[in-house]
Structure 1
């Protein structure tokens, strides 16, 4: 949407970006054998 012509009115002054909720499960699986 942000790359389309319909987004011409968006200034970015109040654009909230949310990264998501909890981390994906594959990150824990990829580091299961890693020493801390």
Structure 2
């Protein structure tokens, strides 16, 4: 059970990181930098 929770936490952090990178990419794209 503990292993599953750790795995879920890692996946959540990975997804959050991907989403934040996507948002930064969109921001940079729209700012024309």
TM-score, with structure 1 as normaliser: 0.21
Structure exhibiting the larger radius of gyration computed from Cα positions? 1
Question: Looking at both structures, which has the greater relative contact order when contacts are Cα pairs under 8 Å and sequence separation is at least 6?
Answer: 1
